[in-house]
Amino acid sequence: MKKLLALITTFALSTSLIAGEIIVKGSDTMLNLVQRLAEGFAAVRGDVTVSVAGGGSGVGITAITNREVDIANASRAIKSKEISAARAQGVNPVEIVIALDGLAVIVNSKNPVKNLTVQQIGAIYRGEIKNWNEVGGPNKKIVLYGRQPNSGTFVFFREEVVKGEYASYMRQMNGNAQIVDAVKNDEGGIGYVGLGYIRNVEGIRPLAVAKSSQDQYISPLNEADVKSGAYPLTRPLYQYTNGKPKGQVLDFIRFELSPEGQKIVEEEGFVAVTQPYIEKNSKILQ
C-alpha cells in the first residue's frame, strides 16, 4: 500500500502541483525570458496561470527538490550532489534546454579595451590584474561586479573563467540588471551578464572574447557564433522537472520549444535551441 501511495504521489507531482497553475522558480538570468514565455502561453491556454519567480539557479533547484515548484530554471547544469539530494527526497530531476546564452563580459562604453582572453578575464576576477593599464587600457583601477553564490551565472563563470576563487573585493549584485546599471555608471567597471540584458543598451560594451591569445576574438552579439559554440562563453539555459513533464507542465514546455516560443526567446535577446538540443529534448518530451 505504501508503494502504491508513493507511486500515486510521484505521478501527481510530475504532472503539476496545483491544477490550473504552474509554479516556476530559479535563475534570475532567465526570469524575464520565462515571464514572457508565460505571457505567450496564457494567450493559448487561458485556463492555466504560470507564476514565475527568480532567486537564483540554486534556489530553483532546491525548490524542485523540496517539491515546492513544478519547474526549476537554471543557468547552469544541476550538480551531481544536487541530483543525489533530490533523489534522497524521492525527486527525479529531468533536464530540458529551452534556450542558449552567450554570457557577456561588459565594460563601460568609455573604456577603450575591446578584447580580452578568457585567461585575462579570469586573472582580473581572481584579483591578479587590478588596473586596466595591464591589459591595454587606461591607468584606472578595475572594479569587479558579479553575482551572489546562489546564482547559476556566478557558478558558471567561476568554473569556466575564474578557475579559482573570486577576489574578495568583487561587488556581489542581486541580478543582471544591477550589474548593467553599475558598469554603465563606473568607467572602471567590468561585469558579466546574460545576453538578454545587453542588446540595445547604451553606456556599456560587451567585450569580444578569445579562448587564448592565439584564437579569434568573438563578440557575444554574433548569434551564429553563440549557436555554434565558437563564442567561448556559450551556455545552455535549463529547466528541471520532477520526472518527465506531464499534463499542463508538458504543454507549457512544448510551447516554450515551439516556433512561437523560440521566437520569444530571440525577441528577449537569447538564442534559440540548436538541433542537438532539439533532439535531446524530443526524447524526453515524447
- The answer, yes or no, to whether residue 8 has pLDDT greater than 80, is no
Q: Which pLDDT value is given to residue 128? A: 98
Per-residue pLDDT, averaged over 232-254, amounts to: 97
- The answer, yes or no, to whether residue 14 has pLDDT greater than 90, is no
Output the CA torsion sign for 30, 95, 60, 146.
negative
Cα-only R_g, the chain: 20
Residue 70 cell numbers, joined:
513544478
- Distance between CA atoms of residues 261 and 85, nearest Å: 32
Phi and psi torsions of 63, nearest 5°: -65, -40
- The answer, yes or no, to whether residue 137 has pLDDT greater than 80, is yes
CB environment 73-109: b (16+ within 10 A), e (fewer): bbbbbbeeebbebbeeeebbbbbbbbbbbbbbbbbbe
pLDDT in tens, 91-119: 999 999 999 999 999 999 999 999 999 99
Q: Which pLDDT value is given to residue 16? A: 66
pLDDT in tens, 186-235: 999 999 999 999 988 999 999 999 999 999 999 999 999 999 999 999 99
| pLDDT band with cut points at 50, 70 and 90 for residue 160 | very high
- The answer, yes or no, to whether residue 6 has pLDDT greater than 50, is no
Please provide the average confidence, as pLDDT, over all residues in the chain: 93
- The answer, yes or no, to whether residue 237 has pLDDT greater than 80, is yes
Of the chain, the percentage scoring pLDDT greater than 70 comes to 94
- The answer, yes or no, to whether residue 9 has pLDDT greater than 70, is no
